[in-house]
Amino acid sequence: MSPKVSDEHKEQRRLQILEAAERVFARKGYEPATMKDIVEEAAMSRGWIYLYYQTKEEIFVAMMEKLDQENAVRIRQLGDQTGSVWKLLELWMEEGKRELASLSETVIPAFYEFFLTGWRNERRQELLRLRYRRSIRELTALLQSGVDKGEFRPTLETGQIARIAASQIDGIHMHVLAVGAEESAAAVQIDALLAYLGTLLGVSRPASSSSH
């Protein structure tokens, strides 16, 4: 077998582990999930999995990286389709509303569990800081591209607007997980957030599509 094929095989195995882990963490959460659960879900030997990852935490962090990369690709694709940063934000928020009903069936609860229950764990907190900084940097760059295109005339620095958006989205998600989408009026909150972002960004008609 050539080195290229071998590398492809290794990558397929790695993805198989991470996809199995995603199903396990979505089903059980972070703390209750075990390496045994992931081994069984992946239908691989424990030895194979330990060639790639030594702990459940390593697998979880790698899984989050994979999902972040996939999300970044999806955002770029939406941007290419629309040609407009504001339209991209509208579509992103609409997608978020559609996902509210199934939020508890995703890995998002495990994500909050991992970081919030591990607030005394310095490694987890450093991972959270690094992930937060990267997400804010990426969102800031997206908003700044809208400024550069002449779509936005923001009333705040774009980095601050990115932080506001991130905080609001996290808050909405946590309330949905705690009391449900209907009780927390999550869809209304997302519409209100989009309108608020439109005001901060200086968009003339900030909620044109999501208000219908």
- pLDDT band, residue 204 (cuts 50/70/90): low
Q: Could you tell me if residue 87 is inside a domain?
A: yes
Q: What is the mean pLDDT of residues 90-106?
A: 94
Per residue in 114-164, pLDDT tens? Answer: 988 888 899 999 999 999 999 999 999 999 999 999 999 999 999 999 999
Check which CATH number belongs to the domain holding 204 and give it. 1.10.357.10
Domain boundary among 30, 61, 92: 61
CA distance 8 to 3: 9
Are 87 and 20 members of one domain?
no
Per residue in 37-70, pLDDT tens? Answer: 999 999 998 998 999 999 999 999 999 999 999 9
Which tokens sit at 90? 């509208």
Domain that holds residue 10: 1-61
Selection from 159, 148, 164, 165 nearest residue 84 by Cα:
148
Report whether pLDDT(207) > 60. no
Q: Could you tell me if residue 186 is inside a domain?
A: yes
Selection from 106, 5, 67, 51 nearest residue 39 by Cα:
51
CA distance 89 to 78: 9
Are 88 and 186 members of one domain?
yes
Q: Could you tell me if residue 110 is inside a domain?
A: yes
Contact call for residues 129 and 178 (beta carbons, < 8 A) = no
Are 115 and 209 members of one domain?
yes
